[in-house]
Amino acid sequence: MLELTDVTKEYRVGGQSVRALDGISLRIEPGEFTAIIGPSGSGKSTLLHLLGALDSPDTGSIRFRDKEIGDLDDDRQSEFRRHQVGFIFQFFNLLPTLSAWENVAIPKLLDGTGLRKAKPRALELLDMVGLGDRAEHRPAELSGGQMQRVAVARALIMDPPLILADEPTGNLDSKTGASILRLLGDITRDGNSVVMVTHDMGAVRYCDRVITLRDGLIGSTELVERTDDGEVRTVPVSPDGTTAAAGDAGVVRA
Ligand SMILES: Nc1ncnc2c1ncn2[C@@H]1O[C@H](COP(=O)(O)OP(=O)(O)OP(=O)(O)O)[C@@H](O)[C@H]1O
Ligand SMILES: [Mg+2]
């Protein structure tokens, strides 16, 4: 669905430059839940921003369904984001004065659909994330996990093929976080791709693929395998994600 080739991104602040991404090549497959992990400053958020056309690479190519998106102008970037991408953030980013269903419907509103017309689908999505009975609640009247469920529903209302999440469980306790991770796994069943940046190693068990960044480079790519007895292990694969790579399979820590 998404293919990055030799992508670099440098930030210049004052006279200094920081190479946030130093030549990244990877593929995001339809129907896969991909985790991006790595130390602070390794380039995870920068990479996610490029995947979602919130920013452009300096060099290299980013192809979405065989069309280059790395060089879109501002208008085309926001058009791409509106229709192809759903974003989920650590701090939910809900509008406090709006009800849960109105928050879910906001992307439709921004795309020119009236709020009332968007309501049935917003209610359907709230139902899907287990909040059918909280549609009229405002964010302050919801728990953290419930707020993140509203944000997941909002990310889905435009029916985007790509969902991007930056630390979606960073502000939740582990049990609530696990329910959000299961929900993110569920939405890949219809062929949507979910890419999630996380510090939480325990989150890996809910994913299909794990990409580890180190200093703006891909350190490793692993596939997550589940055995019948419920054990989860990671198997290293080559950078293009297809063939087995040298290295041992590891059991995922809880
Ligand atoms: N807007 C910016 N301007 C200048 N430098 C930036 C900017 N954003 C990120 N950087 C630098 O680029 C590098 C990668 O940053 P990035 O935010 O992608 O890291 P990260 O892996 O998401 O880290 P964290 O886990 O702490 O969120 C860092 O060295 C950071 O200081
Ligand atoms: Mg980050």
- Convert the pLDDT of each residue in 161-192 to its tens digit: 999 999 999 988 999 999 999 999 999 998 99
Task: Kindly give the distance from the C-alpha atom of residue 40 to the centroid of ligand 2, in angstroms, as a whole number.
Answer: 7
- Residue 106: count of CB within 10 angstroms of its CB: 17
Residue nearest to atom 4 of ligand 1 (CA): 11
β pairing state of 232-237 and 85-88: unpaired
Task: Kindly give the distance from the C-alpha atom of residue 167 to the centroid of ligand 2, in angstroms, as a whole number.
Answer: 8
The number of the ligand 1 atom at minimal distance from the alpha carbon of 213 is 21
Question: Average of pLDDT values for 46-58?
Answer: 96
Closest ligand relative to 11 C-alpha: 1
Nearest to 162 by CA among 46, 55, 38, 64: 64
- Phi (first) and psi of residue 117, to 5 degrees: -70, -30
Note the pLDDT of residue 243: 65
Locate tokens 């350190």: which residue? 219
Residue nearest to atom 30 of ligand 1 (CA): 41
Closest ligand relative to 36 C-alpha: 1
Note the pLDDT of residue 227: 87
Question: Average of pLDDT values for 131-155?
Answer: 96
Average pLDDT, the chain: 93
Task: Kindly give the distance from the C-alpha atom of residue 248 to the centroid of ligand 2, in angstroms, as a whole number.
Answer: 28
Closest ligand relative to 20 C-alpha: 1
The number of the ligand 1 atom at minimal distance from the alpha carbon of 49 is 18
Note the pLDDT of residue 244: 67
Note the pLDDT of residue 238: 81
- Return the best residue to mutate from 9, 10, 17, 42 for the ligand 1 pocket (most ligand atoms within 8 A of CB): 42
State the pLDDT confidence band at 211, using cuts at 50, 70 and 90: very high
Note the pLDDT of residue 64: 96
Task: Kindly give the distance from the C-alpha atom of residue 230 to the centroid of ligand 2, in angstroms, as a whole number.
Answer: 31
- Residue 162: count of CB within 10 angstroms of its CB: 24
State the pLDDT confidence band at 16, using cuts at 50, 70 and 90: very high
Please list every protein residue whose CB sits less than 6 Å from any atom of ligand 1. 11, 13, 18, 20, 38, 40-46
Query: Are residues 245 and 219 in contact, defined by beta-carbon separation less than 8 angstroms?
Result: no
State the pLDDT confidence band at 252, using cuts at 50, 70 and 90: low
Global pTM exceeds 0.85: yes
Q: How far apart are CA 51 and CA 196, in angstroms?
A: 11
- When mean pLDDT is compared across 64-78, 100-114, 122-136, 228-242, the lowest value belongs to 228-242
**CA torsion, ordered 147, 152, 158, 164, to nearest 10 deg:** 130
Question: Average of pLDDT values for 99-107?
Answer: 97
pLDDT greater than 70 at residue 245: no
